[in-house]
Structures are given as structure tokens and as C-alpha cells.
Amino acid sequence: MDKNKIYDDPVLQVQGLNIHYGKFHAVRDVSFNVNAGEIYGLLGPNGAGKTTTLNAIEGLLKPQTGTIKINGINLKENLLLAQANMGVQLQHNSFQPELTIEEIIRLYAGIYGVEMTKEKLINVLQNIGLLAHFNKRFDQLSGGQQQRISLAIATLHDPKLVLLDEPTTGLDPQSRRVLWEYLDGIRDKGFAVLLTTHSMEEAESVCDRISIIDHGKIIVTDSPDNLIELNRNNPEVIKASRKGKITLEDVFIGLTGNGIRG
């Protein structure tokens, strides 16, 4: 992570996003960019607007106002072309459980129009550490292995933008670290990555920048290290600290409150 990196190559541009559910204003004038070669975290309590924002970017719901551009393509004007430039890893996988790893990869490669040679298949399996398990059924795999396949599928077509919804939820520490290393590799290839997470450790470990969203509004955006440094003397953050050393979780609690949401 380069703390001095200048972010001027936006792949995802979100500007003035507003989303209502009836009278409930779920997302309020949200704006941010995610750049090529950047992992950007969207953090917030339950109900803060993270998933709603992600759904709008995916094209699953229409905002009342605002624009979303992916690789310069306006989502509203050309939904299919914009979606072709993104890969999505969902929190809950829905792959066919009876298919083997190889069959799933070949199936989705066909859907994306990607030629899957034997050499490329081996390379994909090696990258996710599952070459020795290529003939296992999906339902025989651990949660971490399933998440690695999901991430590989999301990037098969080399999308400009990768969207990840809480990618390591429920994984053990070893599986999380493997997935983090894979994310580092994606960033190094120039992908723009947007992830939502409840894990402050994850955000601090893999994200170049984060935005904290609360009550539908982005309240702060910066690198994890800068957020910690800038809020080191914030009374609410100091109050949230449990061990004296200020962490990103302390900053998060100090800025959003300690009340349980949802």
C-alpha cells in the first residue's frame, strides 16, 4: 500500500447518489471514486447504506438521482456494457453444488465468452490454490475454498471493476489471509476493487482508502492509517478505545456510535 499514491485514474465514479425506499432516504448524496490499482473499502453499521449503494452500482436498483460511471460508461445509459466491465462476488454463493470446480469455471467462462484452454484453467486453479482439487464438487469444499472460486469467477473476464460484498465473512484466519493475498494480486494487476466489510482488521490490512457511511451519508474518506492518526485525540475515539492504542475500530465506533444497529 502506497500512502503517498495520487488517485487520479477513476474506474468507478459515483456522484450525488440518492436512493429512497418510500419516505425512507437510504442513501444521501453519496459521491466517491475507485481507481485502477486500488482497493477501496465501504464501511458502516448495519442499515447505514452500504448494500443499497452496492446494489445501485451493480445495476440491481435505480437511484432517484445521481450518476454512476464504470470505466467511463454511464450505468443508466448503457447498463449491459457497464455491467460487462464489472465482476461481482456475492457474500452468499449460488453455484450449482453438484458441479466440480473445473465444470463451474468452464461454465462461467462460457457465459462470459472467455476461451478456457487447459493451460488457462490450470493457471486459474493455481492462482486460487485449488489445482489439486479440480475434480471436487462445490459442496465438498470448505467456505474459504468456495470464496476463492467465487472471486476467481468474478475476475475471469478481466473486468475493470470488482465488487466484493463482505468477502471473508465466516472464514477462519488462515482462509482470510489467503483471500487477502489474492486481493493484493488483483490490485497489482490494475483492477479497481470496491468491498464492503464489517471487519476493521480487514479494512486496515487490505484497503488503500476507506469511506465510512452512516445514516446514508459518507462521513469521512481517507486511508486507514490517516484516519487513525487524524482521530487520535478525538474524545469519542479515545472513549471507544479499550486498550489504550487507537485502532481503526476505535475510530469507527467513535464516529458512528456504540449503539447496536439492526
* β-sheet with 192-196: strand ranges across: 86-89, 161-165, 192-196, 38-43, 209-214, 217-222
For residue 57, pLDDT over 80 is answered with yes
What is the enclosing helix (H) or strand (E) of 179?
helix 173-188
Classify domain 6-85+159-224+256-262 at the CATH class level.
alpha beta
Supply the pLDDT for residue 3. 46
**Coil, strand or helix: which one is 69?**
strand
Residues above pLDDT 70, as percent of the chain: 94
On the CB side of 106, how many CA atoms lie within 13 Å of its CA? 12
Cell of 19: 436512493
CB neighbours of residue 172 within 10 Å: 11
Which pLDDT band, with edges at 50, 70 and 90, does 54 fall under? very high
